[in-house]
Amino acid sequence: MMAVARRRQIVNSYSKVLADILICSENKESFFQELYNFVDKIDNQSFSVNPLIYNKYRNAIKDITCSFNITNEVQKFVLLILKRHYGCLLGEIIEQTKQLLNNKLHRTEVFVLSKNELSAQMKQKIEKEISNQIDNVEIEYKIDTSIKENCINFMSNGNICCLDLKKISEKFFLS
């Protein structure tokens, strides 16, 4: 079992290096997508070997090295993470790297959460309003059944804003 502070330190340091590798690359987006694809291939090859079982873990890494054509720095770095027995932290490292890249590239990611699917017209209005206020924004819509019926939550960089559409419509249309 790894201590929480040690785990956070490992994730932070590997994420910073991976973000630097991706920033230095010419085509950041394709490399980041390639990173996701590479990790998916590894997961699909059932790399669920416990790092504490040393021989099985080492053999699994050899199989990955032989079966994949390791061509770029990103794949080499992921392989290094696996060789150092931090494969269980790979998901956290990738998510932290994504956040670091968004910060370095001044990109904002906004999640629009609602109980039911929003109409295309509503999505278009939301995208227009957010794009007018924020440059370089990526908007993603998700359904969350825990949200109240007439509410929409906006989440960006860990901050949440909740709008009650019923109260807003009553305020603006009935006044």
- Domains of the chain, residue spans: 4-104, 108-173
Give CA 77 to chain center in angstroms. Answer: 18
- In sequence order, the 6+-apart residues with CB closer than 8 A to the CB of 162 are 151, 152, 153, 154
According to DSSP, the residues that pair with 153 across neighbouring strands are 113, 162
Instruction: Give the chain's mean pLDDT.
Output: 80
Structure tokens at 42: 């590894």
User: Does position 163 have pLDDT exceeding 90, yes or no?
Assistant: no
How far is the C-alpha of 35 from the C-alpha of 77, rounded, in Å?
A: 10
DSSP, collapsed to helix, strand or coil, labels residue 112 as strand
Structure tokens at 136: 């370089």
DSSP, collapsed to helix, strand or coil, labels residue 145 as coil
**Residue 151 DSSP code:** E
The H or E element containing residue 163 is strand 159-164
User: Does position 90 have pLDDT exceeding 70, yes or no?
Assistant: yes
Q: For the segment 1-41, what is each residue's pLDDT rounded down to a tens digit?
A: 578 889 899 999 999 998 888 888 777 777 777 777 777 77
CB 107 within 8 A of CB 137: yes
Under the banding of pLDDT at 50, 70 and 90, the label for residue 50 is low
